[in-house]
Amino acid sequence: MSSRIRSYAAPLARARGLGSAKEGVEHWWLQRLTALALVVLTLWFVWVVVRLSGASHEAALIFVARPLNTVLLILTSVVSFWHAALGLQVVYEDYIGHEGARLAAIIVTKFAAVGLITATVIAVLRIAFGVV
């Protein structure tokens, strides 16, 4: 963008880079960033599902407790829920016309995402530390 066009904004507004939406490219950027991470993580996770498809409970516990698998599983959980919450937010914003309902849907989704991230991460850590 040329500086002539950008000179519309006051210096502070230009530094912030935010328009009237009071929000910048964070949502867009995080959706791409989490997507990039998920290219690797989901391919790994499909392989895990395939590998553990016939495995016993004991064998699955041993697999998850391996340090690299513990780390990758926690990352898969956090990044997947994060990406899903961002994506669902866009769907709500497109289809829910009523502002209150839209906001409620976004809040419920974000709370659910954080809650399920917490539950899954703690469960994986319990397995990793042998509490299970």
Partner 1 sequence: MATHNTSSPPIAGANRPLSPHLQIYRWHLSMVISVLHRATGIALAGGLLLFTWWILALASGPEAYGSLRGFLNSPLGLLLLLGWTWSLFLHLANGIRHLVWDTGAALDLPSVKTGGVIVIAASILLTAAAWAAAFVL
Alpha-carbon separation of residue 119 from 68, 92, 98 (angstroms): 20, 25, 31
Least spacing, CB of residue 11 vs partner 1, in Å: 25
Crossing angle for the helix pair 26-52 and 57-65, nearest 10 degrees?
A: 140
Question: Distance between CA atoms of 30 and 11, rounded to whole angstroms?
Answer: 26
Among 6, 16, 27, 51, binds partner 1 (CB under 8 A): 51
Residues 63-82 that bind partner 1 (CB under 8 A): 64, 73, 77, 80-81
Residues 82-101 that bind partner 1 (CB under 8 A): 84, 87-88, 91
From the list 5-13, 19-27, 99-107, 118-126, the region that binds partner 1 by CB under 8 A is: 118-126
**Residue 19 φ then ψ, to 5°:** -95, -155
Q: Which x/- pattern, by CB under 8 A, does the window 9-48 give for partner 1?
A: -----------------------x--xx-xx--xx--x--
Residue 60 buriedness (CB in 10 A; 0-12 / 13-18 / 19+): middle
Q: What share of the chain is helix, strand, coil (3-state, %, to 5)?
A: 80, 0, 20
**Interface residue list for partner 1 (CB under 8 A):** 32, 35-36, 38-39, 42-43, 46, 49-51, 53-54, 57-58, 60-61, 64, 73, 77, 80-81, 84, 87-88, 91, 116, 119-120, 123-124, 126-127, 132
